[in-house]
């Protein structure tokens, strides 16, 4: 098989796995949330808890990923995770018991970590090993396609199917995605060299850099999760926009699909940290547009900006992790995701609490924007630390 064709198949396996674990297993819940509130009697506070538990599952998965170095074990868990993603989806339609829903959301979160972190690590390892560019933009298109696909599917299916039948429809879609996701990713090669014989060496960043990087990524997670979880409900509450929430969610997916590829190109020109700072500033604008200007156009533009940046930041951070640790990328990816994930548990729970008190989720979005501003400032500090570390490394390697 030609090298390009093999690369295409491996990247496609990754795309299908992300559509399955993030689109179907994790994000189908967002556009289905209003329906479940109308038809299945799901309350506002319970909805927030289910979202928080989903992230708790994801976080537990990230913790597991950060502890595993063995590629063969990662491959096994990745494949189990994809099957579990389908099972956690079917369970949602089989019951109206909130406890079972909670368990399903937690397990769906676990499976999304397997697809997102273990799968991404395996694919990055394969790319580096076969001397392809260590960029994940094409692979991460699966997240945007998954989000947009779910929003579109719910928009179409809602004419004919109730909330329960839609969960079953998503299960069927998941079964189809499972086939290429499992069969097109080859078993991992565990030798320590690339195909042309170069030794793969880890180049870890300084402890201070790591601490600041994790803090900045925590802020990014906070900014992302509130919009991603509540956008449909928030837009439906805005003046004159009742019923348009799903459209905003679709716009996020459309913005996200090409985003990682675009940010790869931007990072090549500006450097990784500058690209991250630019993405953070644009994301803040995206979060605030619906409130600052109002109306459908500003809301959809905000959603496109948000979709086009949050996933770009994730892709850039995980790609940087892979470059620092080519032999075991999922280890640093897992660590970074723990800080991003902690924000994803705190964010929805706090927003749900504020929302229940004030009757609106708007305060949550202002809070998300404020935390993102702090994250942007931390990224700027990180640039100074990176320069300092680089000059220290130069001095250390210079002949004395």
**DSSP assignment of 297-352:** HHHHHHHHHHHHHHHHHHHHHHHHHHHH-TTSHHHHHHHHHHHHHHHHHHHHHHHH
> pLDDT tens for residues 133-160?
767 778 888 888 888 888 889 889 988 9
SS3 140: helix
pLDDT band at residue 192 using 50, 70 and 90 as cut-offs: low
Q: What is the pLDDT of residue 187?
A: 85
CA distances for 133 relative to 117, 129, 140, 157, 198, angstroms: 19, 10, 15, 40, 15
Q: Is residue 400 part of a domain?
A: no
Q: Is residue 327 part of a domain?
A: yes
Q: How far apart are the first and last CA of the chain?
A: 51
Q: What is the pLDDT of residue 188?
A: 82
> Full-prediction pTM beyond 0.85?
no
Q: Is residue 399 part of a domain?
A: no
Q: Is residue 44 part of a domain?
A: yes
pLDDT of residue 346 exceeding 90: no
CATH label of the domain that carries residue 112:
1.20.1250.20
Q: Which position has the higher pLDDT, 237 or 94? A: 94
Q: Would you say 35 and 158 are in contact if contact means Cβ atoms under 8 Å apart?
A: yes
Q: What is the pLDDT of residue 273?
A: 93
Q: What is the percentage of the chain residues whose pLDDT exceeds 90?
A: 34
- With 0-12 / 13-18 / 19 or more C-beta atoms within 10 angstroms meaning exposed / middle / buried, residue 130 is middle
Q: Is residue 383 part of a domain?
A: yes
Q: What crossing angle do the helices spanning 295-324 and 137-157 adopt, rounded to 10°?
A: 140
pLDDT band at residue 376 using 50, 70 and 90 as cut-offs: very high
Q: Would you say 317 and 195 are in contact if contact means Cβ atoms under 8 Å apart?
A: no
Q: Is residue 116 part of a domain?
A: yes
pLDDT of residue 315 exceeding 80: yes
Which residues, at least 6 apart from 27, have a Cβ–Cβ distance to it below 8 Å?
146, 147, 150, 228
Q: Is residue 398 part of a domain?
A: no
Dist. CA 25–CA 21, nearest whole Å: 5
Query: Which range of residues forms the domain containing residue 214?
Result: 3-186+203-392
Strand partners, 193: 199
Dist. CA 236–CA 247, nearest whole Å: 10
Dist. CA 298–CA 181, nearest whole Å: 37
Q: Is residue 196 part of a domain?
A: no
Dist. CA 398–CA 26, nearest whole Å: 50
Dist. CA 279–CA 293, nearest whole Å: 21
pLDDT of residue 194 exceeding 70: no
Mean pLDDT of the chain: 86
- Provide the domain count of the chain: 1
pLDDT of residue 382 exceeding 70: yes
């Amino acid at each position: 098989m030609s090298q390009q064709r093999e690369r295409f198949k491996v990247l496609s396996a990754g795309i299908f796995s992300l559509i399955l674990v993030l689109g179907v297993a994790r994000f189908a819940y967002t556009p289905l949330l209003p329906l479940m509130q109308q038809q299945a009697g799901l309350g506002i506070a319970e909805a927030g808890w289910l979202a928080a538990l989903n992230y708790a599952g994801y976080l537990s998965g990230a913790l597991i990923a950060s502890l595993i170095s063995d590629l063969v074990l990662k491959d096994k868990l990745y494949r189990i995770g994809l099957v579990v993603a389908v099972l956690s989806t079917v369970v949602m339609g089989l019951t109206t018991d909130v406890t079972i829903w909670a368990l399903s959301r937690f397990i769906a979160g676990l499976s999304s970590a397997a697809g997102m972190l273990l799968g991404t690590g395996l694919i990055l390892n394969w790319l580096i090993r076969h001397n392809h560019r260590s960029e994940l933009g094409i692979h991460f298109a699966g997240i945007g396609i998954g989000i947009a696909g779910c929003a579109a599917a719910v928009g179409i299916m809602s004419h004919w199917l109730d909330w329960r039948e839609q969960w079953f429809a998503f299960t069927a879609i998941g079964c189809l995605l499972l086939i290429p996701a499992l069969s097109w990713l080859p078993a991992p090669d565990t030798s320590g060299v690339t195909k042309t014989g170069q030794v793969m060496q880890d180049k870890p960043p300084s402890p201070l850099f790591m601490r600041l990087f994790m803090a900045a990524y925590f802020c990014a997670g906070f900014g992302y999760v509130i919009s991603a979880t509540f956008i449909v409900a928030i837009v439906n509450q805005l003046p004159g926009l009742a019923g348009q929430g799903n459209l905003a969610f679709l716009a996020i997916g459309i913005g996200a699909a090409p985003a990682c590829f675009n940010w790869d190109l931007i990072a090549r020109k500006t450097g990784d940290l500058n690209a991250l700072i630019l993405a953070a500033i644009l994301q803040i604008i995206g979060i605030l547009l619906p409130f600052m200007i109002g109306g459908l156009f500003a809301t959809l533009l905000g959603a496109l900006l948000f979709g086009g940046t949050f996933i770009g930041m994730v892709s850039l951070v995980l790609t940087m992790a892979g470059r620092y640790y080519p032999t075991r990328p999922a280890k640093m990816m897992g660590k970074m995701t723990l800080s991003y994930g902690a924000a994803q548990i705190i964010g929805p729970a706090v927003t749900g609490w504020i929302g229940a008190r004030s009757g609106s989720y708007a305060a949550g979005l202002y809070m998300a924007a404020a935390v993102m501003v702090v994250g942007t400032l931390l990224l700027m500090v990180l640039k100074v630390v990176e320069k300092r570390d680089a000059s220290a490394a130069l001095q250390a390697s210079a002949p004395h």
